[in-house]
Amino acid sequence: MYFATMSQLLTSYLAIITSIFIVLLIYIYFKLSYTYWRSRGVPQLNPSFPFGDMASVIFRRENMGDKIRRIYSEARSAGHKYVGLYFFSRKAFMPVDPILVKNILVRDFANFHDRGIYYDEKNDPLSAHLFSLAGPKWRNLRAKLTPAYSPKQLRNMFGIIMNCGEQMNELIEDSAKIGEAVEIKEILARYTTDVIGSCAFGLDCNTMRNPQAEFRLMGKRAFTQTVSDVLNMVVIRSFPPIAKLLGLGVFSRNVTDFFKRVVRETIEYREANRIERNDFLQLLVQLKNHGKLDCSEEKAGTALTMDEAAAQAFIFFLAGFETTSTTSSFAILEMALNGNVQNTARREIQKVLEKHGGVLCYEAIQEFTYLDMVIQETMRKYPPAPVFLRKCTETYTIPDTNVTIEKGQSVLIPAYGMHRDQEYFPNPDNFDPERFNEKNRENIWDYTYIPFGDGPRNCIGMRFALIQVKIALSVILRNYSISLNDRTKLPITMEKKGIILAPIGGIWINFEVIR
């Protein structure tokens, strides 16, 4: 009995000592990792075990965009051209000099042609989309999909988008007639859901009248992170091989299954009934069946599989839903706060529509010069993607230095920081569309304004996104005078979770019908 008890105690002590030893080794490994940038002559912050420089983001005390913007400002104030960061023990390099940003995005693109975003074609097929794919797979798919966003294709989809804008207008009108304030971010999110649901999935989502529609709920779920989701992402980002071994997905299983099912059933229905529509999904059907969009092309590429088609429809939704509705919401906020901007934009819309017989058509949208300036200034002040990711694909030496970025390391492009930099944009917190008039645009430093990224991996859906925003804003401005409701919390503060800028408490707007 005595020896059995002693044996158990000894086993327990050994287990405790082993655990302490393992923790100590991990601690030493992290601490040594945190000397990496300094030992190479790269400025760094004061990383803490085990979160590196990202504890405030992980514990949701700070939004990722705000965090990177703050680091950018500190680096610029110290006169640095770049800074080294740590995500747990992983290293990341962040340029703060626009010339270096240009080199990474464009001139030396061959060294940074991937984003370094996790994807797993086998266990999580929706993650293998254009935004995350790397190397030849990305290059081939980008070439296939580029014609899908041509002016010709966008003109074909214009009627679908416009129909969603009219449904949005009907809902706003109902509230305006009874003097009820509207949380515009929610309304615009439903609008973009309907647009993308129709264009990318061939569905009449009708979230305007039914905000609990399954498509809307699944869209919300895709952008909501539970505790389980956060833990999954920690494993995925820190230990990708283990994540693939465990079959972990970027998105929850019910979201993945829903979007895969919707695409499969819609494509099968169209093929069985020989139905064709002027939408993005129809272009995916062509790529699935023929490997090309233009029937006049002699050579066809490799056809898309059903899972690949679903992945491209899914990223169309992810990239265009939240970013577009958020940009439109901030534009409405700023025009509600700046009556002269609102009135100037409205006068331009009325003048252009008179020229086109009162019809808001594709040609009219292209003539909204001032409205375009409003949108550009909105994206400067509230960039849709505050941070862009790149991955070093070949070891790169920074020009005129001995500093190298090693193959496989992440690179962060701080768009939000540059957009709010006093040197590049005087009085950066002021909303001034005139920064983007024909004369002043020439004074903007190259690569200090990159709302859609730049280079070969810029946003492929830029034109589509701008058309969505212009339709939403022009429909609202031609019909309503807008003002800020007291329920909007000023000054605007951003949600602490996620990377997309989103105001806490929403943006509440009063709408008055223009007679």
**CA-closest candidate to residue 187, choices 482, 451, 493:** 482
Q: Which amino acid is at 507?
A: I
First to last CA, the chain: 94
CA 307 to chain centre: 22
**CA-closest candidate to residue 383, choices 462, 500, 496, 223:** 500
- 206 close to 171: Cβ distance less than 8 angstroms: no
Question: How many whole angstroms separate alpha carbon 368 and alpha carbon 52?
Answer: 46
426 SS3 class: coil
Is the Cα torsion angle 355, 361, 363, 369 positive or negative in sign?
positive
- 244 close to 236: Cβ distance less than 8 angstroms: no
- 480 close to 514: Cβ distance less than 8 angstroms: yes
405 SS3 class: strand
User: Which own/partner contact pairs does 483-488 have at CB distance under 8 Å and 24+ positions apart?
Assistant: 483/336, 483/509, 483/510, 483/512, 484/333, 484/336, 484/337, 484/508, 484/509, 484/510, 485/181, 485/509, 485/510, 487/181, 488/333
> What's the order of all strands across the beta sheet hosting 508-513?
182-183, 508-513, 480-484
295 annotated as a binding-site residue: no
- 286 close to 293: Cβ distance less than 8 angstroms: yes
Question: How many whole angstroms separate alpha carbon 149 and alpha carbon 33?
Answer: 44
Question: How many whole angstroms separate alpha carbon 94 and alpha carbon 104?
Answer: 11
383 SS3 class: coil
What does residue 444 show for φ and ψ, rounded to 5 degrees? -75, 125
290 SS3 class: helix
- Binding-site residue ranges: 459
- Binding-site residue ranges for heme: 459
